[in-house]
Amino acid sequence: MPLIRRHRPTRPLRVTAFARLAASITRSRAASLARIRASHHAIVRNRALFLSIIAASFFVLALAAGPFTKAHLQAATVLKLVSGQPVPRFLSALVAEPIVTDEITISTAEGPVRARLYTPVKHRNAPALVVLHGVHHLGMDEPRLISFAAAMASCGLRVLTPELPDIKDYHVDSNSIRVIGDSTRWLADRTGGPVGVMGLSFSGGLSLLAAADPKYRPAFKFVFAVGSQGSMDRVFRFYGTNRDLRPDGTTETLTAHEYGPLVLEYDYLEDFIPSGDLSPIRAVLRAHLYEDKTAEAAALARLTPDQTVEALRLIDSTLPSTRALLARAEARHIAELEGLSPGPHLPSLTTPVYLLHGAADNIIPSAETLWMASELQHETLQAALVSPVLSHLDFGASKPGAMDQWRLIHFFALVLHAAEQR
């Protein structure tokens, strides 16, 4: 019998080899997938850290890009602070420089006035900025003003907030122009050069008038007017009509806030009521403006029935009779109102100017900034913005888009950059 050699079939050998190879690939793929999943889970678990690293890297790169980029980051930080929004940790470092505050007294043509000087500890000789409060009974002690001044000083600026006694007592008059001019000159003398001036509300318009005065002009580096008047007469008419004419011939129509007419009634009260009623009714209006309901109720309780009618009529500026009184007071004080209006002086003004206004402002309508922008020389007007992010001096209730927020940040960065230049 022939010897038959039996060989293992070749097919099973190939099947086994492929099976082993497939198993090896499967194991390798499983290991790779496991590593990918582990890596993915690690990224997810550390996402906050990852984003923080990216943000911090952007922050470092932005600082390296130059001081103007830094000004934008500082502007965003300050605006978040004053609007009560949380500030990311990597941004808060931009306004983290320690500051000291000094209570001082400045001699002015209207007598000595209180002031507060905010100084960055590490930059005692930093560029300087005067910040002027609006019409408010707390004056330089108004919490939002203190917060803003401190934030600006933490950016590396010396900030002076002088008290404007008449503005604090709801009187918009020429005395404040001289206090503004003398306070600005005091800070300019102290720092060895002109300084920026930021005026809020009616103080902004009065700051422009001070800058137009040859006596004070050399002390002004620029004027930054926020929510300010170009024409007091035009604003006065707005309170009686709810309409303010724009330079292009269109009309801005919105309901005037009671605060505006009340300030003018309080200022010119003798035009609205008999002289014998001035003191008791002024007490009512003062308490109402101060938003002191207890004091207002007590002051009303001391009035006679006729005086009560007079007081309530003045508080309600929507009444036709009150609007008629406002119109008569406007006509009576037209020359004085002209003297409190920067408009006629703007064509010849040489001090650089920045104008900012809230689109929803119904105390001093935004048409006023449009008028001033149209009256200033091209080389004098540095920037002007009417922003939906703001109302009067507050952040509005609406939710503006990203571009509106960016425009406000960019505008404010321009001012910061100008303030920091020597």
53: its two tokens: 């690293």
Residue 244 reports pLDDT greater than 80: yes
Least confident of 45-59, 183-197, 239-253, 299-313: 45-59
pLDDT at position 34, please? 52
User: Running DSSP on this structure, what letter comes out for residue 111?
Assistant: E
Mean pLDDT (whole number) for 362-376: 96
Residue entry with tokens 């590396």: 156
**pLDDT over 90 percentage in the chain:** 68
pLDDT at 73: 83
pLDDT band for position 6 (cuts 50, 70, 90): very low
Cβ-count burial of 282 within 10 angstroms (0-12 exposed, 13-18 middle, 19+ buried)? Answer: middle
Tokens representing 27? 């194991």
Higher per-residue confidence, 225 vs 43: 225
DSSP for 160-224 reads: EEE--HHHHTT--STHHHHHHHHHHHHHHHHHTS-EEEEEETHHHHHHHHHHHSTTTGGGEEEEE
| Cα angle for residues 147, 384, 63 (degrees, 5° grid) | 60
Nearest-angstrom CA–CA distance, 406 and 201: 23
C-beta of residue 413 within 8 angstroms of C-beta of residue 383: no
pTM of the predicted structure, to 2 decimals: 0.82
Superfamily (CATH) of domain 97-235+337-420? Alpha/Beta hydrolase fold, catalytic domain (3.40.50.1820)
If pLDDT is split at 50, 70 and 90, which confidence band does 383 have? very high
User: What is the identity of the amino acid at 335?
Assistant: A
Reference 321, options 202, 214, 240, 252; nearest CA is: 240
Residue 176, number of CB atoms within 10 A of its CB: 26
Among 242, 237, 205, which Cα is nearest to 333's? Answer: 237
List the structure tokens of 118: 């905010």
Is it the case that residue 164 has pLDDT exceeding 80? yes
Band of pLDDT at residue 69, cut at 50, 70 and 90: confident
